[in-house]
Chains A and B, each alone.
Chain A
Amino acid sequence: MTTIEPMPVVTARRQRRSFADGIRDGLPKLVLAPSFAIILVFVYGFILWTVYLSFTTSKMMPIYKWGGFDAYYRLWSQPNWYVAMENLAIFGVLYIGICIALGLGIAILMDQRIRAEGILRPIFLYPMALSFVVTGTAWKWFLNPGLGLENTMHNLGWTSFKFDWLVNPKMAIYTIVIAGVWQASGFVMAMFLAGLRGIDGEIIKAAQIDGASTVAIYRRIIIPLLRPIFLSAFIVLAHMAIKSYDLVIALTGGGPGNATELPSTFMYSYTFNRNQMNVGSASAVMMLMGISAIIIPYLYSELREKNR
């Protein structure tokens, strides 16, 4: 940009920018650069690498020979992959649905001026602090057909009680839902509780004056106001469902047979145990696409609003 400078005052001493000034101006970017470079290389670079691997003929070791869509073709012709996808659908829907329903339900109960809230809240939340491996171990024992819940019921006199989901290929996926819900529903509860506490009390008072019953207030005013929490909870849970790996490994190890295979376990076993790295990579790419489809629009809208 050009400017017509007025006649410079003769005595004015212009202080020029020094080298130190230059360093100082660049310092913030210099500080951020390593982190950004790390993310760029180890997240985005590695994703590209994985994508590339999925188009090669890699087996046990990466082979950089172009294989086209072969790996994807093989992935989508694996019965195992369909089992994994079906399981993910069952697990995802139930896990997200039950967590949200249970979380919201407990949060609403907790919001009724409960005296022991300080004791109850940590009880619902503590599973979130545990490793999935610990959770899996505990539930594996709890659901053990011989010594766990079934045995307890027999001891109580209910001898016909049968609970063999853990070893029943048809039902095993539901044990993962149970353990997953147990782990995450308290956290969803905490989210909803925070949302409930954030609602302007005057709105509720206005509704009461308008003659709305408690049920109507919840149904017509409070729950609609919690919409952003529903969205956040959905995002978090969906993302956890797609990623969840440890829980399955610790609880069922993907079995019995392949009954509890999920895309995450599929990817791991094809890559590291079955020596089909290209198929494993292709499944990882599918997982990434699934998560991206949920996360990117969400992040986009969040950042949009935030910066307005």
Chain B
Amino acid sequence: MSFLEIRNIRKKIGNIEILKGIDIDLEKGGFLVLVGPSGCGKSTLLNAIAGLLPPSSGDIVIDGQVVTDLHPSKRDIAMVFQSYALYPNMTVEENIAFALEMRGVEKAQRVTAVRQVAKTLQIEHLLDRRPSQLSGGQRQRVAMGRALVRQPRVFLFDEPLSNLDAKLRVEVRAEIKALHQNTGATIVYVTHDQIEAMTLATKIVVLKEGMVQQVGSPAEIYNRPANLFVADFMGSPAMNMLKGRVAETGIALFGSNGVVVPVPPSVTKKLPDGKEVIIGLRPEAITDDGLVDPTARSIAHIAAEVSMIEPTGSDTFLTGKVDGASFTARTRAEVVTELGQSFRFAFNLDKAVVFDPETGSRID
């Protein structure tokens, strides 16, 4: 049985429906990431789980207990906020101990618990300081300490890394991951950053306009996006969306002198001959010859004009143009080419995903 259940949660504020019936399950020890563009309702959903914003309808169940009507403090959850929300008038130690104090834990016990958490997070030397005397990274750690000391059933994180600079963000991200692996805590994590979602989650929920677009493991979300929105939102640079036409043997790309993408018969069977579809291909599935996946079953080569070259150091992204369509390819940094020249791209057609242009959904 799942540990955290979100059952048909709806939230209306005024006339606007922010959450339109969300259903999610999470097993004990899972790391659920809610990801989506701003305004998709992910923070509202997190606040509903926390009890800070009661849903209009639906239920939140934690460990078999319906907590929908419970006060936040009685749900046995802890939350790490975007701004960290450290009490400015208290020391780090008092901040971490506050929740225990509110629950009537004895002073001696509180001190022990705080020390232990401080040791885990390596903030023992900061215990007497005030939040205003801490750096961004240190504040973040104290905020985590405040959550950890409670040993709650569920941890909630609300974009906890968005106030850190790029380098620190990567560091703390790794720490959160290690924390999850070491403690086996159940975590719900909100972010708009798809890389955070990919690296941290055991389960990703992609939200848009208050509706779940897809639920799945990071690999599922990345390789088999349920629709065009998910395909476009997850991954950077974004997935290439190429117009194709259903043919007898598969799906034809780039007009008459292009290639045919072999697709399972289950796909073609659903589609009338000549229908337009969209083929999604990640940039890393279009490469130069040197990067071709040796295990790939079907590789097609297409010559295209190079219209942009973006070296990143580790690899180079080339934009190719053929038959009025353009696509982004990930090639080796060593590749030599020039703008306007023709380049021979290798398409790994195994990775192709087919979408219906009308509904936007993936066709299997």
Interface residues of A (CB under 8 A from B): 1-6, 9, 11-17, 21, 24
Contacts and interface: CB of A to CB of B under 8 A. Distances in A.
Given A6-B7, A9-B1, A1 B67 contact: no
Nearest to A25: B71
A24 B69 contact: no
A3 to B, nearest CB: 4
Most A Cβ at <10 Å: residue of B5, B7, B68, B74: B7
B66 A14 contact: yes
A175 to B, nearest CB: 51
Given A6-B7, A12-B61, 17 more contacts: A1-B10, A1-B12, A1-B56, A1-B57, A3-B10, A6-B23, A9-B1, A9-B64, A11-B1, A11-B64, A12-B64, A12-B66, A14-B69, A15-B65, A15-B66, A16-B69, A17-B69
A4 B64 CA distance: 19
Interface of B: 1, 5, 7-8, 10, 12, 23, 56-59, 61, 64-71, 74
A2 B23 CA distance: 16
A24 B71 CA distance: 10
Nearest to B74: A15
**Main SS of chain A's interface residues?**
loop
A26 to B, nearest CB: 14
B7 A5 contact: yes
Given A21-B71, A24-B71, A3 B66 contact: no
A27 to B, nearest CB: 12
Contacts of A5: 7-8, 59
B61 A9 contact: yes
Contacts of A16: 69
Contact of A3 (B57, B61, B71): B57
Nearest to A3: B57
A3 B69 contact: no
A2 to B, nearest CB: 8
A11 B68 CA distance: 16
Contacts of A4: 8
B66 A13 contact: yes
24 contacts: A1-B56, A1-B57, A3-B8, A3-B10, A5-B8, A5-B59, A6-B7, A9-B1, A9-B5, A9-B61, A9-B64, A11-B1, A11-B64, A12-B65, A12-B66, A13-B64, A13-B66, A14-B65, A14-B66, A14-B68, A14-B69, A21-B69, A21-B71, A24-B71
A21 B10 CA distance: 22
Nearest to A6: B7
B313 to A, nearest CB: 36
B8 A15 contact: no
Contacts of B71: 21, 24
Contacts of B23: 6
A256 to B, nearest CB: 59
B58 A3 contact: yes
A243 to B, nearest CB: 39
A19 B64 CA distance: 23
Nearest to A10: B64
Nearest to B75: A15
A11 B10 CA distance: 23
Given A1-B57, A5-B59, A9-B61, A15 B10 contact: no
B8 A6 contact: yes
Contacts of B64: 9, 11-13
Contacts of A21: 69, 71
Contacts of A3: 8, 10, 57-58
Contact of B69 (A1, A11, A15): A15
B62 to A, nearest CB: 10
A262 B67 CA distance: 65
B212 to A, nearest CB: 14
A203 B328 CA distance: 43
A198 B5 CA distance: 51
A14 B56 CA distance: 17
Contacts of B58: 3
A288 B7 CA distance: 56
A21 to B, nearest CB: 7
Most B Cβ at <10 Å: residue of A3, A4, A5, A6: A3
A247 to B, nearest CB: 43
A230 B235 CA distance: 53
Contacts of A6: 7-8, 23
A89 B64 CA distance: 74
Contacts of A24: 71
A17 B58 CA distance: 16
8 interchain residue pairs of minimum CB distance: A3-B57, A14-B66, A11-B64, A17-B69, A13-B65, A12-B66, A15-B70, A1-B57
B354 to A, nearest CB: 32
Contacts of B68: 14
Contacts of A2: 57
B76 to A, nearest CB: 11
A3 B56 CA distance: 10
Nearest to A17: B69
B65 to A, nearest CB: 5
Nearest to B9: A3
B67 A15 contact: yes
A301 B316 CA distance: 54
A97 B12 CA distance: 51
A16 B12 CA distance: 22
B133 to A, nearest CB: 28
A86 to B, nearest CB: 51
Contacts of B12: 1
Contacts of B61: 9, 12
